[in-house]
Homo-oligomer: A and B are copies of this chain.
């Protein structure tokens, strides 16, 4: 049942994308290889024709998610400051289904315990997001703009994570609202 090169590449990509969704929904540990393969319409045995290990898939799925996030942020920023802010506000939605979600938010504490490669692709994605936002910083000093961008991003990460933990929807909404309000003020400061 050998498949053509294009088919193989497409299957590999499909596994990564399905996996990226599942990881963000249920976490890394809770997502099994067999489950992902079944969702891709395959049996689990074929997994190792595409990846060396589950860990490699984790890394690639994380990279794909970050790339998608960076790509859409770049597109929004290219259209102006207001679209960029709108883009960031979307990330701050309670459900956060936007673009399938940000891996930093959905699996933050799990990523912190992940291996070198996974943390590296996550870090690289973060750096790119900082750069995109910093380019719109209102300060004349680039370093200050970058600081503002870093604070904006990490504050958003914390707000959405906390909003998801909180068991009271009203408080969750309030947390996100406060983060949104600070979105414009903070990176523009100083």
Q: Contact between A165 and B29 (Cβ–Cβ < 8 Å)? A: no
Q: Assembly of this chain: how many copies?
A: 2
Interface presence of A100 (CB below 8 A): no
Interface residues of A in 142-163 (CB under 8 A from B): 147, 150-151, 153-159, 161-162
Report, as a range, how many residues of chain A touch the other chain. Answer: 35 or more
Q: Contact between A109 and B161 (Cβ–Cβ < 8 Å)? A: yes
Task: Report the Cα distance A103→B107, complex, angstroms.
Answer: 15
Q: Contact between B164 and A112 (Cβ–Cβ < 8 Å)? A: yes
Q: How far is the CB of A102 from chain B (nearest CB, A)?
A: 11
Task: Report the Cα distance A146→B168, complex, angstroms.
Answer: 16
Interface presence of A174 (CB below 8 A): yes
Which residues does chain B contribute within 8 Å of A120, judged by CB atoms? 167
Task: Report the Cα distance A127→B174, complex, angstroms.
Answer: 12
Task: Provide a sorted-by-A list of 9 A–B residue pairs whose CB atoms are within 8 angstroms.
Answer: A26-B113, A29-B29, A30-B113, A104-B161, A112-B161, A123-B165, A154-B178, A155-B159, A157-B162
CB closest chain-B residue, reference A117: B167
